[in-house]
Amino acid sequence: MSSETTLQALQELDFTRDLPPEQMEKLAALAFEVHFPENFTIFRELEAGELIYLIKSGQVALFVRVPGKGRTTILTLGPGELLGWSSLFPSGRKTASARTTTPVEAIAFNAAQLREAMEEDNALCCSLLWRVTQIIASRLKATRLQLLDIYAPSQEH
């Protein structure tokens, strides 16, 4: 995929759409496109994965193995969402396994290269960390809601 096509893809994704042009171009230079078939394991829990993905199309299920219960899907991610953010941190191991439930197209980044670019460019670092923080915060909120089991039957009339 040419860097021009990558740039265009990044301009369409929610995660990157509002980045300043110079930051967008830096990211486009680091990005490459990947395709996964259905039922493909992209990474496994506790792996020191090297790649971070922005999903362009398709769906990925994040699951953990729970003793006695087997594979338990905890979240699914779709177009525009960030997959594998834990690799952004130097010691980051994947906190869940990721498996496609449909064919998936994604933009991938090498986490080490991305970290290096962020260390060299504070503005880029700030932009990306804001976005990653927002995603982590929204997933935290969603997890709280999931833990509350809000649809459980309650005593009413």
Which of 54, 50, 33, 53 shows the shortest CA–CA distance to 116? 50
Of these, 8, 95, 133, 138, which contacts other proteins (CB under 8 A)?
A: 138
Sort strands 82-83 and 32-36 into parallel, antiparallel or unpaired: unpaired
Left, alpha or beta for 39 (phi > 0: left; psi -120 to 50: alpha)?
Answer: left
Radius of gyration of the chain (CA): 17
**To the nearest 10°, the Cα dihedral for 109, 111, 113, 114?**
80
CB closer to other proteins out of 63 and 109: 63
Query: Among 42-50, 84-92, 108-116, 139-147, which window interacts with other proteins (CB under 8 A)?
Result: 139-147
6, two tokens: 């990558």
Q: Is 146 in the site for other proteins (CB under 8 A)?
A: yes
Minimum gap (Å) between residue 2 Cβ and other proteins: 25
CA–chain centroid gap for 4, Å, is 22
CA–chain centroid gap for 73, Å, is 16
CB closer to other proteins out of 29 and 142: 142
Residues in region 37-56 near other proteins by CB under 8 A: none
Residues in region 71-110 near other proteins by CB under 8 A: 72-76, 78-81, 101
CB closer to other proteins out of 39 and 113: 39
Query: Among 19-27, 91-99, 122-130, 145-153, which window interacts with other proteins (CB under 8 A)?
Result: 145-153
Residues in contact with other proteins by the rule CB under 8 A? 14, 59, 61, 72-76, 78-81, 101, 138, 141-142, 145-146, 148-157
